[in-house]
Chain A
Amino acid sequence: RKEVEQDPGPFNVPEGATVAFNCTYSNSASQSFFWYRQDCRKEPKLLMSVYSSGNEDGRFTAQLNRASQYISLLIRDSKLSDSATYLCVVISGGFKTIFGAGTRLFVKA
Chain B
Amino acid sequence: DGGITQSPKYLFRKEGQNVTLSCEQNLNHDAMYWYRQDPGQGLRLIYYSQIVNDFQKGDIAEGYSVSREKKESFPLTVTSAQKNPTAFYLCASKGDGYTFGSGTRLTVV
Contacts and interface: CB of A to CB of B under 8 A. Distances in A.
Interface residues of B, number: 20
Contacts of A46: 97-99
B105 to A, nearest CB: 8
Contact of A43 (B41, B50, B97, B102): B102
B81 interface: no
A87 B97 CA distance: 14
Interface in A1-46: 4, 8, 34, 36, 41-46
Which of A8, A41, A99 is the most central at the interface, judged by chain B CB atoms within 10 Å of its CB?
A99
Give the most central of A8, A43, A87, A102: most B CB within 10 Å: A43
Contact of A101 (B41, B45, B50, B88): B41
Q: DSSP class of A's interface residues: helix, strand, loop or mixed? A: strand
A89 B98 contact: yes
B51 to A, nearest CB: 12
Interface in A33-79: 34, 36, 41-46, 49
B42 A43 contact: no
A44 B84 CA distance: 23
Most buried by A among B100, B101, B102: B100
B22 to A, nearest CB: 15
Interface centre among B42, B88, B98, B100 (most CB of A within 10 A): B42
Contacts of B88: 41
A87 B100 contact: no
A44 B42 CA distance: 11
A95 B100 contact: no
14 contacts: A4-B42, A8-B40, A42-B103, A43-B100, A45-B100, A46-B97, A46-B99, A87-B43, A95-B31, A95-B94, A97-B45, A98-B42, A99-B43, A101-B41
